[in-house]
């Protein structure tokens, strides 16, 4: 297995493609996070808010980005993480998570991260710093 230390600037971690976003995903996330805004779970409320349908919680998408680093947690941890929300995520969207090495030293690796929908549109982009154990 390739270690995270093997990745070089410009190289990308393997993409992670999530299953299509389901209503159940969003109901579970609402319960786990305490974010019960009805635009995330009730069609009529989302439409009243001017949306075409319910949308995923931005933090649901952001949280999923951490899955990119799961195979490497024996080597370090995500020390810093920030994103900008670019676009909404709707039911049945298929989100692909991406990470590319931007900078690297002996203690940490900085990644450009993104979540992209099935149309190739970035819904989130940002950076994550993965600190390496010594």
| Residue 95 is assigned to a structural domain of this protein | yes
Residues 111, 103 contacting (CB under 8 angstroms): no
What is the Cα–Cα distance from 4 to 112, expressed in whole angstroms? 15
| Residue 79 is assigned to a structural domain of this protein | yes
| Residue 67 is assigned to a structural domain of this protein | yes
34 Cβ contact partners less than 8 Å away, ≥ 6 residues apart: none
Confidence class for position 14, pLDDT limits 50, 70, 90: very high
| Residue 66 is assigned to a structural domain of this protein | yes
Residues 75, 104 contacting (CB under 8 angstroms): no
pLDDT one-digit tens code per residue, 68-110? 999 999 999 999 999 999 999 999 999 999 999 999 999 999 9
The residue to which tokens 């992209």 are assigned: 116
The residue to which tokens 């995330």 are assigned: 40
Predicted pLDDT at 1: 58
pTM of this structure: 0.93
Q: Is the dihedral of CA 35, 36, 38, 40 positive or negative?
A: positive
CATH number at residue 116: 3.10.129.10
| Residue 71 is assigned to a structural domain of this protein | yes
- Provide the domain count of the chain: 1
| Residue 90 is assigned to a structural domain of this protein | yes
pLDDT one-digit tens code per residue, 23-78? 999 999 999 999 999 999 999 999 999 999 999 999 999 999 999 999 999 999 99
Expressed as residue numbers, the domain containing 117 is 9-18+56-130
């Amino acid at each position: 297995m390739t270690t995270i230390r093997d990745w070089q600037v410009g190289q990308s971690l393997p993409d992670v493609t999530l299953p299509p976003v389901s209503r159940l995903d969003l109901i579970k996330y609402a319960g786990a996070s305490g974010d019960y805004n009805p635009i995330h779970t009730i069609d009529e409320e989302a439409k009243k808010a001017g949306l075409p349908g319910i949308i995923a919680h931005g933090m649901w998408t952001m949280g999923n980005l951490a899955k990119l680093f799961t195979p490497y947690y024996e080597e370090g941890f995500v020390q810093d993480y920030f994103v900008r929300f670019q676009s909404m995520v709707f039911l049945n969207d298929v989100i692909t998570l991406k990470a590319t090495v931007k900078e690297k030293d002996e203690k940490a690796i900085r990644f450009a991260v993104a979540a992209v929908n099935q149309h190739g549109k970035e819904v989130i982009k940002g950076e994550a710093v993965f600190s390496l154990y010594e």
